Amino acid sequence: MAFTLSNLLFSAVVSSQAATNSAIGMIGSFLAAAALIVVPAASFLIWVSQKDALQRGR
């Protein structure tokens, strides 16, 4: 029984279209995460750093 189940799982053919759609979705999620989280956080940290540098210079 276990052998038959493993044969079924390993012999399942995944279409190239499904793999392509999955890869495109993954890349899209990385880009969305960068746009929604990384870019605003980096911008805020750079702004705070510059503001602090100006205050220390006075």
Torsion region of 13: left, alpha or beta (phi above 0 gives left; psi -120 to 50 gives alpha): beta
SS3 12: coil
Summarize pLDDT for 1-30 with one digit per residue, the tens: 556 666 666 665 667 788 889 999 999 999
pLDDT at 52: 82
Q: List, in order, residues 6 or more apart from 17 with CB less than 8 Å away.
A: none
Supply the pLDDT for residue 14: 65
5: its two tokens: 């189940």
pLDDT for 16:
79
Distance (Å, whole) CA 20 – CA 26: 10
Residue % of the chain over a pLDDT of 70: 74
Is the pLDDT score of 39 beyond 80? Answer: yes
Residue 33: half-sphere exposure toward Cβ, Cα within 13 Å: 6
- pLDDT of the residue at 9: 60
- Tell me what pLDDT residue 36 has: 96
